[in-house]
Amino acid sequence: MTHARPETGTGSAALRRLVVVGHGMVGHRLVEALDSRDADRQWQITVLAEEPRPAYDRVALSSCFDGADESALRLPEHDPGRVGLRLGDPACALDRAGRTVLTASGDRVPYDALVLATGSRPFVPPLPGATAPGCLVYRTLDDIAAIRAAADKSTTGRGVVVGGGLLGLEAANALRLLGLTTHVVEMAPHLMAVQLDEGGGALLGRMVGELGVTVHTGTGTQQVLTDPETGAASGVELTDGTFLETDLVVFAAGVRPRDELARDAGLEVGERGGVVVDETCRSVTDPRVWAVGEVACIEGRTLGLVAPGYAMAETVADRLLGGEAGFPGADTATQLKLLGVGVASFGDAHATTPGALEVVLNDPVAATYGKLVVSDDARTLLGGILVGDTSGYPLLRPLVGSALPADPATLLAPESAGGAGAGGGVAGLPDSAQICSCHAVTKGALTEAVTEQGCADVPALKSCTKAGTGCGSCVPALKHILEAAGVEQSKALCEHFDHSRAELFEIVAATGITTFSQLVAEHGRGRGCDVCKPAVAAILASRDSATHILDGERGSLQDTNDRHLANMQRNGTYSVVPRVPGGEITPARLIVLGEVARDFGLYTKITGGQRIDLLGARLEQLPAIWRRLTDAGFESGHAYGKAVRTVKSCVGSTWCRYGVQDSVGLAIELELRYRGLRAPHKLKAGVSGCARECAEARSKDFGIIATEQGWNLYVGGNGGFTPRHAELLACDLDHDTLVRTIDRFLMFYVRTADRLQRTAAWLEALEGGLDHLRAVVMDDSLGICAELDAAMERHVADYRDEWRGVLEDPAKLARFTSFVNAPDTPDPAISFAVEREQPVPVPGPVSLGMPQLPAADGAGAR
Amino acid sequence: MKTPAPAGRKVTTMTATSTMNTTTTMTTSPTADWSAVCPLDALPVEQGRAALLPDGSAVALFRLHTGEVHAVGNLDPFSGAPVICHGIVGDRDGVPVVTGPLGKETFELATGRCLDAENVRLPVHDVRLTGPVIEVSTRRNTVETLVGGG
Ligand SMILES: Cc1cc2nc3c(=O)[nH]c(=O)nc-3n(C[C@H](O)[C@H](O)[C@H](O)COP(=O)(O)OP(=O)(O)OC[C@H]3O[C@@H](n4cnc5c(N)ncnc54)[C@H](O)[C@@H]3O)c2cc1C
Ligand code: FES
């Protein structure tokens, strides 16, 4: 069967064909980088992937054992209209003369340029028994599944990991989490010999030992013994004679580049493997072939880390579009947490530079080890190792190659003693120092983002520069840069409160205060302002849906739109947006909307949220309009509020031939459940009945997409200024679990977000991110779920239509008059023009000085 | 001039310099005409209302928690829309202000001065209480009458 994509219909004559072999982390990055830069669509991209699933975050593979599910690891999807991704169809031969790739399915895919991104395979030493059942490796999601299955049926209850490097220790942690007694065998005298010296390795070994993992260093593996009956692994014999009974062995003894395609096709490969490329990642043998990631042999070696792979991907993307980029050189610095122990290693960690000096701070009591390698004159930092406390890493790593800002011992001292961890270091960094190695962002670029582009917090820096969006290890340094640039990270809401919105929420919850006056008198100062009054009004409303937002003093707190339950337009008129749950509306109701609009002379427009906006109502008309609407069964749509707006839906399984669930029914249910819920910002939602995603649910604060088994829940998306796709919080939920999870997500957001912080920014700033959110709302890690559930139950029970509340109360109706001394006189300052047969505000520039006043007698003149 | 304000309520003049006399407002102009607009009770604390003056212009009325009542022009100088009465009342550094609902520019209630843009101000009108009724001077104060009026 062939799946060749038609090459017609793209309309571009200059279209060239790029084939990428391997959809791992680096192949994925290459496609993303090319897609985002290739504005005129010069390249048509085909990706041949061996694995049955699209690229995922291999670096975070071990989080699968901490409760993350597979979907959480998935990397952003490529635009399917742009990239042909063939899963489970690996390349098996290259025909360089004919410029085609032969795939396992027998297809021949032609290319103009070919990128090899095939990564590495785990190295399994050729020992007796090493391929027996029960002997596994640790690189892919399938490997994870195999390890899990083997652990489940293990009868020895013991697992052995061969290899005490980074991967071995991750595997050891996995076995431990699966409930096995775990042993690690390492040939070198200490753990993580590549990254650590003896002192650091010894401390790590001790700390790992305290977690119950038995470490055997300085010894090799002799053989794997097998059960004579089943042929499966039954034990491991070490070279020192130790015998360990086990039916599960994981080999993590290094990797080898997957360069077999290249070898067979006659491309030059390195001495220890890897496709030999120049500094632009181009094969030295064939200019149409490139190699990136672990399969590339660059500067004479292969690199087993993701950051240099990303740098190669960026280089090739740039070159394919005619750019001049070159590989910036490998940064092999690493910082990780292994079995909960922080480990960092950077630069010339092993002091191989001639004359290099080492400064060591070893504190076995505090369980920290630090070493800095400096030049012979002790002026320049060359590298270092940190075990235990790695807080100094984000500041020390960028210093490599530059002058030391303080003496080395001081830099190694713990934060409290003014060490690098304290943040003093960032000021001493040169502008050229790379702060974020994942995205190659320098201190200079970050400082400029703060001073020139007005980035005032970490999320802003992230979206502006991409720094901090990779491994995240540089985030503390970003904070220091903001501080160094003098950006005050004050959380005070305004001059009247020193608290953040989240803190005020907690104060209100703890004290039971129900009025702004009392809150500002007891916890703030002055009379409030346009910042704190609406914020507090929303907090009070979030906690108490039974009290009308215009009751008593609350009426004076509301912002422009909430004040009259309608959105104020540029000419001082208002819009009317009744709720149309899920976008489903009967013809009779649709006619009522038309009649009301006609009778009151309103401009009408369909909104993006699947409802109808009636614009141009004068303040004094609002009650009469809403009386007609409520009589017809309409309710407030809260288009004016920082509140739940709409739950958009596609037609779903009731009508659609593709739908797998009733998306309309769910959307209506959710919209009715959450209507009127006040929040720090507006909330939008969507429900799609199948993966085609017609409701655009992933651009919403919470989006639900039907699956065959249930519902996938995505959170933290938005359109608007900085569009962002929602991220997958949970998969295949049944109805009740779905609703409960959304309840908690919303209430947790309402409780902890900043003023005017949408869910996307909130999630970005949330410490621990999506994982933390998942832990809080699904595993109740903070023990607050009962409170969140109760708060939502209260909201649902207490909800009342706000417009009905106004129509029933003469005191509130009095607000809806044009003039206190001429209640029905239309304001003469409001007028309309006509455009495309509808009334619109009189166009004209918005004046920035004093308006022309009738009968002016010098007012405002100065 | 007429009935003193009820005990506990203070109705100030709009003079920047004189605050001693809490009931009479004739400090600015002997020729001002007064327009009765509404009972004090029709004006909830810190919730503005618009009132129409005989010349067809409108003022935004605000009653503070102290009992003071202020009248400023209702037209928002930035948008040209008649919306100042719908602004949020509060204070900046203790000075009573209203923040316009469209562009969020803030104006001092006593002087009309915009705190966010130089040389922009709202016209201000004297206010007095006659019995339970709020009366607004039809005459707009200028900077000169405000400062030198006492
Ligand atoms: C458990 C674990 C933890 C790690 N932790 C870290 C860390 O903390 N920091 C760090 O920097 N790095 C870490 N790494 C290493 C990092 O994951 C790799 O450096 C990175 O994934 C390399 O990306 P790549 O695209 O070159 O290779 P890969 O991600 O391996 O992708 C290669 C892909 O190509 C496919 N492929 C191979 N041959 C073919 C073919 N003929 N046709 C089609 N497809 C093919 C493979 O199936 C694979 O999907 C870790 C790795 C593992 C396994
Ligand atoms: S260093 Fe990894 S995100 Fe910045």
The domain that contains A784 carries what CATH number?
Answer: 3.30.413.10
Q: What is d(CA A34, CA A43) in angstroms, rounded to the nearest whole number?
A: 8
Per-residue model confidence as pLDDT tens digits over A186-202: 999 999 998 899 889 99
- Give the Å distance between the CA of A56 and the centre of ligand 1: 9
pLDDT lower than 70: segments of chain B? 1-32, 142-150
Neighbours of A564 (CB within 10 A): 20
Is residue A497 predicted with pLDDT exceeding 70?
Answer: yes
Residue A466 has what pLDDT?
Answer: 83
Q: Tell me if chain A has a CB within 8 Å of the CB of B41.
A: no
Q: Which two tokens stand for residue B109?
A: 């209630």
Domain that holds residue A352: 333-424
> Which numeric CATH code is attached to B19-147?
2.102.10.10
The answer for residues whose C-beta is within 8 angstroms of residue A541's C-beta and 6 or more apart is: A547, A549, A554, A678
Q: Supply the pLDDT for residue A852.
A: 38
pLDDT tens-digit map of A826-841: 888 888 888 898 988 8
CB atoms within 10 A of CB A152: 9
For residue B79, what pLDDT is reported?
86
Nearest to A573 by CA among A853, A846, A841: A841
Per-residue pLDDT reduced to its tens digit, A576-632: 999 999 999 999 999 999 999 999 999 999 998 999 999 999 999 999 999 999 999
Confidence of residue A485 (pLDDT cuts 50, 70, 90): confident
Q: Are residues A310 and A347 in the same domain?
A: no
In a domain, A609, yes or no: no
Which one of A29, A332, A400, A439 would you pick to mutate in the ligand 2 pocket, going by the greatest count of ligand atoms within 8 A of its CB? Answer: A439
- Verify that A313 and A352 share a domain, yes or no: no
Q: What is the ipTM for the molecules in this complex?
A: 0.76
pLDDT tens digits along A307-342: 899 999 999 999 999 999 888 887 788 888 777 788
CA dist list (Å): A314 to A292, A324, A471:
10, 11, 17
Closest residue on chain B to A846 (Cα)? B79
Query: Quick one: which of B57, B74, B150, B149 has its CA closest to B112?
Result: B74
What pLDDT score was predicted for residue A426? 66
Proximal ligand: closest to the CA of A59: 1
Residues A72 and A157 in one domain: no
Is A843 at the interface with chain B, CB within 8 A?
A: no
Using the mean position of ligand 1's atoms as its centre, give its distance from the Cα of residue A58 in Å.
Answer: 6
Angle at A740 between CA A738 and CA A745, to 5 degrees: 95
- Mean pLDDT of the A536-541 span: 93
Return the residue whose CA atom lies nearest to atom 2 of ligand 2.
A471
Backbone angles phi, psi at B92, to 5 degrees: -120, 120
In contact, A575 and A560? CB cutoff 8 Å: no
Average pLDDT over residues A4-21: 62
Contacts of B77 in chain A (CB under 8 A): 847, 849-851, 860
Angle subtended at Cα A114 by Cα A112 and Cα A119, rounded to the nearest 5 degrees: 170
The mean pLDDT value for A50-78 works out to 85
| Confidence band of A60 (pLDDT split at 50, 70, 90) | confident
Q: Is residue A821 in a domain?
A: no
Centre of ligand 2 from the C-alpha of residue A703, in Å: 29
Q: Which of A358-367, A504-513, A554-563 has the lowest mean pLDDT?
A: A358-367
Q: Is residue A851 less than 8 Å (CB to CB) from chain B?
A: yes
Partner-chain contact A860 B123, CB within 8 Å: yes
Q: Using an 8 Å Cβ cutoff, are A173 and A183 in contact?
A: no
Quick check: A235 pLDDT over 70?
Answer: yes
**Are residues A754 and A779 both part of a single domain?**
yes
- Confidence tier at A573 by pLDDT (50, 70, 90): very high
Domain boundary among A383, A408, A424: A424
**CA terminus-to-terminus distance, chain A:** 83
Asked if B14 is an interface residue toward chain A (Cβ–Cβ < 8 A), one would say: no
- Write the residue with the smallest CA distance to atom 20 of ligand 1: A306
Residue A201 and residue A73 share a domain: no
Say whether both A792 and A659 belong to one domain. Answer: yes
Check if A818 contacts B (Cβ < 8 Å): yes
Distance of residue B30 Cα from the nearest chain A Cα, in angstroms = 16
Instruction: Say if A821 is an interface residue toward chain B (CB within 8 Å).
Output: yes
Residues with CB under 6 A from ligand 2: A 436-438, 467-474
Whether A214 maps to a domain, the answer reads yes
Pair (A30, A64) in one structural domain: yes
**Residue A692 Cα, ligand 1 centroid: separation in angstroms?**
29
Q: Looking at the structure, tell me whether residues A172 and A215 fall in a common domain.
A: yes
Ligand 1 atom closest to A92 (CA): 41
Same domain, A34 and A177: no
Q: Compute CA distances A327 → A45, A315, A324, A801, whole Å.
A: 22, 6, 10, 61
Site residues for ligand 1, CB cut-off 6 Å: A 21-27, 48-51, 58-59, 61-62, 90-91, 117-120, 138-139, 167, 170, 258, 261, 293-294, 304-307, 309, 334, 336
Domain membership of residue A199 (yes or no) is yes
Question: Any CB–CB contact under 8 A between B88 and chain A?
Answer: yes
Find the CATH number of the domain harbouring A366. 3.30.390.30
| Cβ–Cβ below 8 Å for A570 and B56 | no
Domain identity same for A684 and A715:
yes
- Residue pairs between chains A and B whose CB atoms are closer than 8 Å: 158
Q: How many CA atoms lie within 13 A of A710 on its CB side?
A: 12
In this structure, what token pair is assigned to residue A717? Answer: 């998306």
Element (H, E) at A33: helix A25-37
Closest CA to A44 of A78, A10, A73: A10
Which atom in ligand 2 lies closest to the alpha carbon of residue A470?
A: 3
Query: CB-based contact (8 Å) between A825 and chain B?
Result: yes
- The 8-class DSSP code of residue B137 comes to E
Confidence of residue A642 (pLDDT cuts 50, 70, 90): very high
Query: CA angle A262-A263-A267, nearest 5°?
Result: 60
pLDDT of A754 reads 87
Contacts of A553 in chain B (CB under 8 A): 45-46
Mean pLDDT of chain A: 88
Whether A62 has a pLDDT exceeding 50, the answer reads: yes
Rounded distance between C-alpha atoms, residue B139 and residue B142, angstroms: 9
Least confident window among A54-68, A260-274, A413-427, A561-575: A413-427
Shortest-distance ligand to the CA of residue A195: 1
Q: Is A570 in Cβ contact with B77 (below 8 Å)? A: no
CA B89, B90, B96, B100 torsion: positive or negative? negative
Question: Are the beta carbons of A846 and B79 closer than 8 angstroms?
Answer: yes
Number of domains in chain A: 5
CA of A470 to the centre of ligand 1 (A): 16
Helical axes A475-484 vs A443-451, angle rounded to 10°: 50
Using the atom order of ligand 1, give the atom closest to the CA of residue A292. Answer: 26
Q: Is the pLDDT of residue A862 over 60?
A: no
Query: Chain centroid to CA A824: how far?
Result: 53
Indicate if A96 and A54 belong to the same structural domain: yes
pLDDT at A475 over 90: no
Residue A445 has pLDDT above 70, yes or no: yes
Angle at B114 between CA B108 and CA A501, to 5 degrees: 75
Q: How confident is the model at residue A376 (pLDDT cuts 50, 70, 90)?
A: confident
The 10 Å CB-count burial string (b at 16+, else e) for A505-538 is bebbeeeebeebbebbeebbebbbbbbbbbbbbb
Closest partner residue to A847 (CB to CB) among B50, B80, B140 is: B80
Angle CA A89–A92–A93, to nearest 5:
135
Q: Which of A530, A533, A820 sits opposite B49 (nearest CB)?
A: A820
- A658 falls within a domain: yes
As a whole number, mean pLDDT of residues A266-281 equals 95
CATH code for position A281:
3.50.50.60
Q: What order do you get walking across the sheet with A574-576 strand by strand?
A: A567-568, A574-576, A612-617, A603-606
Cα(A408)–Cα(A419) distance, rounded to whole angstroms? 9
Nearest CA in chain B to A848: B78
Ligand nearest to the CA of A478: 2
Q: What is the pLDDT of residue B142?
A: 54
Name the one residue in this structure whose structure tokens are 């550094």.
Answer: B93
β strands within chain B, DSSP E? 34-39, 49-52, 58-63, 69-73, 88-92, 95-99, 106-108, 124-130, 133-141
Name the residue of chain A whose CA is nearest to B48's CA: A556
Which residues of chain A make contact with B52, given a CB cutoff of 8 A? Answer: 819, 821-822, 825
Q: How many CB atoms lie within 10 A of CB A735?
A: 12
For chain B, what are the domain ranges? 19-147
Shared-domain flag, residues A106 and A145: no
Nearest to A204 by CA among A189, A188, A192, A216: A192
